[in-house]
Structure 1
């Protein structure tokens, strides 16, 4: 795991290029404390920078790395898990690979197969390869978006990096808020497509590549998609086949993800996903004891799952480590620091415990695995059940349930409805404005987090020149052709929207602790396989994660597969913001600085502050956004410990 940066322009000296790269690298030094390097072209104003966290072949993996003939130069962030298999194949073809570094394999794979080599990679990656002879840069990001890649191009200069703050380190880049990004954030608490909260800074989307080519004195930049998920439904096999095949894919993914030349551990929440990863990994460790890391809060039993985590740890024989996260009195110091590491606020307050658990893990290991992605892949969110409950009611009332392919009937879903017992606010929100509408409108209402937020903002300050609509961006993803069913529409949107935001959190909290985070359930082979399963098998009767449970049940405690109370790492933020952190919240959101921003309706904000419901996200969303403005836009808040 590392940090990459690049600087390409139509004009500039080698000294200017190196100075720019050094500034960018210093901004992301936490991503690579084990070393750094710069390579500058002697014919063009371009260069590549790298800060390294040494995981695979620590002795020989220094970057930027150059082929023996000097033609290709690479900077790479991530891990190629099938690098040993590719290495053997490339050596067989005569390539002079001398190390056991996955970076060297990446470099020579490009030389052998060209841009299409990304299809051969199993792993997480963001990289840039410079072809010195053709004066061409090729960059790519992994299929799921596990590793980040940001860029800014003004027609004359291309800057790219693993984190936005590295691009902002360039003196000529002015941080400005994007009105369209802000609209997305207020709607979803993340940005869709290639948008960020920064005007003029884009993210390379998952499964996409970027090519930059010098044509005379001009620099041409092109982005294209090299991978997307295709739902080619397998009608030939039964449920047993899908369970057995999934089990084999998960086993193989975890086996590959265990490849490391430094100490490795795993997050353990006590939920199904992390428990499965831990139990399967511990079984493959060959006598070495796996270290596991768990976090909880002291604010009540609803914030503490350590009992389940300890049970899994004992079952798997792991070395158990836990941290009880400090109460909210640390929030004034921790939250600005987190917003700095995050670059832009995304998702919910779960970033706080993730940060603390990563800090704990960094005291013991350099690589940590987790269960991220299980809810999206295996149909694990309660909102999926809520959407299907409405669909089933409609089918029963209008007698259309048997007229649709891949339908779920009301009779079949009833036994699984107790899952929604603790989700009454979500159901009330879903049904308060209507019932039985179009699928895109109904699911949008489940992922739209602007309820309670819109009246707090001056909407005129958010309008963009092209009258942007977050709902229309949502529709383009949700209504993609050939998704076949509601469950595929929902999970596909989450794969493209909310999952990259959660992976953003995973990347930043681990990198803030200078450790590598791996997510074996998001091996693209598993993702592609799940897309082939008929929806009426994948989500039969509304059974959440049914196939996944069946595929791993022999390897984990039965109490975990039978759990109905998984909490998803809830954070007692509402208790803090009404208690020990009350003054911090009010001083931040009701300050003269916030008032001058012209973004908030502060009279409404003040009335709202004491009325936040438990696990609500309104205060979190506003607090994160205001701190983001102060750190990156105003540049007058320097977080402690940075």
Structure 2
């Protein structure tokens, strides 16, 4: 994987400068320290940073079609490239390297942009077709690889990270308050929203097409669960177990393909442990390196999973590295976490992830596998069980319950479907936190008025599938994968790979009936049947254990000077986004020695305020 950036002047006014293109590319050096390249034509500039993983001696980008009319830069891995490559060779196409992404340029020539539906991988790419004077930007189905763009005055500026765009003289910095409102309301921010006004995140499963002066954003894939009314043939349980195992093994095997050492993250939970066990099954004579976070202090012991991490590391015979973490590590790394995440955060665990990726890099590992995606697709969160428990109960609604039901109908098309937050009640909390300036203009920034999902994908679906769709869109793609995983891995020039986010695997998971995924109220029941073949019962029978890190209350209780300054009355007043009196009251509650947030179920209001203030400082953003 790599980092890409570029400028297209489709107004044909020759506005691209070489020095500007170089600064944009240098801003994402950490994504690709091994090599770099630039392409500068009359109205097109492309920049590329390489993290060499496949075909180390070659694979330099850009790639070109045989006649030179099509040019490609890509951040990504195409896992089914060997099959695609053989097909293209049979059609007469010639390859110059053994690099996986070279197939993209030839696929485009052979099939046009529709080829994208044939890719199994994680990718963000730019294709420019000189003959057609047409540029495409595309992002993979699950949004594993981020891609940002700024569009104004017939000029397109894009990059793998926002910090590349900020090097362009055309991009003006301004805060997007809707992103802040999303952070309070949802698990994280959601494409196309970013914390920068007018800088957009290309949505997962979409591509941007610029032809002449016409710009279109088009969808090529979405998670489309079957309607409840569709009578799908249900197969025996063993069929789903066997097929799930087969496809997951295939996915892990794909993601072990590299010309550099590969390792894995180990949380101690089911998903990362099963990935580790499958790696061992596929390469029984190989000893991989594994990495985990532990919490040695007594006050954090409830979040410490080292006993399970060590159990799995021993079973798969990995060379295991533990990183010990506490509130002081959070304080030391929080500004870096904001710099690489390019926005405020709802939790502090990006600091843990930075420590993990640093340990990976220091161990001379460039690629790590981890278990993200399983919970969202197979029912790993408590909400899936709550949906079953709520069904069939007679409801007695007072006024507040009726008003909340109206919100649910508006958001999800179902007055009985609860997702994450009681929005009617929580709206009062957020408005109390916001400043008068924000509240005076609240209708313009209210994220609940512009819900960034396709609600037709919820209509007529089973509650399990509704929740899974929302978890993919509102939790996984931009928050857990793009911001939490991609950005903090690449901060230390490490590529993350996610076997559960394999398009062939996910298309199969769509066909597994909800009753099989959550049989006997057992979270991820069907996956646990697979795991019985690989893992000890002590891992397989554990309930979901959310990974959390010390929150704002511990930082306040330990009286960290710079954090006190970030949350000071004067600073809050000066910046203008929050109500300083409300923040003072919350600080008093959080600072009490006996106070403790029930993470991850409680919203850590002050970590949002704190990280937003850090964001303003790190990126030199204007006050309101």
Same fold (TM over 0.5): yes
Contact 1:81–1:123 (Cα < 8 Å) also in 2: yes
Query: Structure 2 CA distance, aligned partners of 1:96 and 1:558?
Result: 51
Correspondence for 2:534: 555
Contact 2:135–2:211 (Cα < 8 Å) also in 1: yes
Equivalent of 2:515 in 536, 541, 551: 536
Equivalent of 1:458 in 435, 460, 464: 435
Structure 1 residues 476 and 337, CA, compared in 2 at 3 Å: closer, same or farther?
A: closer
Report 1:433-472 matches (<5 A).
Answer: 439=414, 442-446=417-421, 452-458=429-435, 460-461=437-438, 467=444, 469-472=446-449
Equivalent of 1:229 in 223, 231, 240: 223
3-state DSSP of counterpart to 2:137: strand
Structure 1 residues 277 and 347, CA, compared in 2 at 3 Å: closer, same or farther?
A: farther
Structure 1 residues 441 and 470, CA, compared in 2 at 3 Å: closer, same or farther?
A: farther
Contact 1:267–1:292 (Cα < 8 Å) also in 2: yes
Structure 1 residues 466 and 220, CA, compared in 2 at 3 Å: closer, same or farther?
A: farther
Equivalent of 1:568 in 538, 542, 546: 546
Correspondence for 1:335: 334
Contact 2:38–2:46 (Cα < 8 Å) also in 1: yes
Contact 1:440–1:479 (Cα < 8 Å) also in 2: no
Query: Structure 2 CA distance, aligned partners of 1:259 and 1:490?
Result: 33
**Number of residue pairs the alignment of both structures matches:** 595
Correspondence for 1:492: 469
Correspondence for 2:269: 271
3-state DSSP of counterpart to 2:589: coil
Deviations 1:282-304 (A, max 9, x none): 22125221111111122232131
Correspondence for 1:130: 128
Query: Structure 1 CA distance, aligned partners of 2:338 and 2:416?
Result: 32
Query: Structure 1 CA distance, aligned partners of 2:403 and 2:564?
Result: 32
Q: Which range moved further: 507-516 or 382-391? A: 382-391
Contact 1:22–1:49 (Cα < 8 Å) also in 2: yes
Equivalent of 2:485 in 475, 499, 506: 506
Q: Which range moved further: 4-13 or 247-256? A: 4-13
Deviations 1:74-119 (A, max 9, x none): 1100100111111111111111113110121122111111111111
Query: Structure 2 CA distance, aligned partners of 1:19 and 1:568?
Result: 46
Correspondence for 2:36: 36
Report 1:69-218 matches (<5 A).
Answer: 69-214=67-212
3-state DSSP of counterpart to 2:128: strand
User: How far has the Cα of 1:386 moved from its partner?
Assistant: 2.5
Structure 1 residues 463 and 136, CA, compared in 2 at 3 Å: closer, same or farther?
A: farther
Task: Say what the alpha-carbon RMSD is for the aligned residues.
Answer: 2.6
Query: Structure 1 CA distance, aligned partners of 2:553 and 2:569?
Result: 22
Contact 1:291–1:321 (Cα < 8 Å) also in 2: yes
Structure 1 residues 323 and 91, CA, compared in 2 at 3 Å: closer, same or farther?
A: same
Correspondence for 2:362: 363
Query: Structure 2 CA distance, aligned partners of 1:352 and 1:392?
Result: 42
Pair 1:620-2:614 in alignment: no
Pair 1:526-2:505 in alignment: yes
User: How far has the Cα of 1:32 moved from its partner?
Assistant: 0.6
TM-score normalised according to structure 1 size: 0.87
User: How far has the Cα of 1:5 moved from its partner?
Assistant: 0.5
Query: Structure 1 CA distance, aligned partners of 2:166 and 2:62?
Result: 22
User: How far has the Cα of 1:626 moved from its partner?
Assistant: 1.0
User: How far has the Cα of 1:155 moved from its partner?
Assistant: 3.3
Correspondence for 1:545: 524
Question: Structure 1 stretches (4+) deviating beyond 6 angstroms?
Answer: 430-437
Query: Structure 1 CA distance, aligned partners of 2:354 and 2:576?
Result: 32
User: How far has the Cα of 1:131 moved from its partner?
Assistant: 1.0
Report 1:578-597 matches (<5 A).
Answer: 578-590=556-568, 592-597=570-575
Correspondence for 2:593: none
Q: Which range moved further: 436-445 or 192-201? A: 436-445
Correspondence for 1:609: 587
Query: Structure 2 CA distance, aligned partners of 1:46 and 1:331?
Result: 42
Contact 1:293–1:361 (Cα < 8 Å) also in 2: yes
Contact 1:370–1:518 (Cα < 8 Å) also in 2: yes
TM-score normalised according to structure 2 size: 0.90
Contact 1:17–1:45 (Cα < 8 Å) also in 2: no
Contact 1:269–1:275 (Cα < 8 Å) also in 2: yes
3-state DSSP of counterpart to 2:391: helix
Report 1:3-22 matches (<5 A).
Answer: 3-9=3-9, 10-13=11-14, 16-22=16-22
User: How far has the Cα of 1:354 moved from its partner?
Assistant: 1.2
Query: Structure 2 CA distance, aligned partners of 1:96 and 1:473?
Result: 47
Correspondence for 1:45: 43
Query: Structure 2 CA distance, aligned partners of 1:590 and 1:279?
Result: 48
3-state DSSP of counterpart to 2:533: helix
User: How far has the Cα of 1:595 moved from its partner?
Assistant: 1.2
User: How far has the Cα of 1:185 moved from its partner?
Assistant: 2.1
Query: Structure 2 CA distance, aligned partners of 1:286 and 1:316?
Result: 9
User: How far has the Cα of 1:347 moved from its partner?
Assistant: 4.3
Query: Structure 1 CA distance, aligned partners of 2:170 and 2:584?
Result: 38
3-state DSSP of counterpart to 1:55: coil
Contact 1:479–1:489 (Cα < 8 Å) also in 2: no
Query: Structure 1 CA distance, aligned partners of 2:214 and 2:452?
Result: 31
Query: Structure 2 CA distance, aligned partners of 1:490 and 1:60?
Result: 44
Structure 1 unaligned residues grouped into runs of 5+ = 399-429, 637-642
Q: Which range moved further: 441-450 or 532-541? A: 441-450
3-state DSSP of counterpart to 1:355: helix
Deviations 1:149-205 (A, max 9, x none): 110101321001001111111123221112322222221252234111211111110
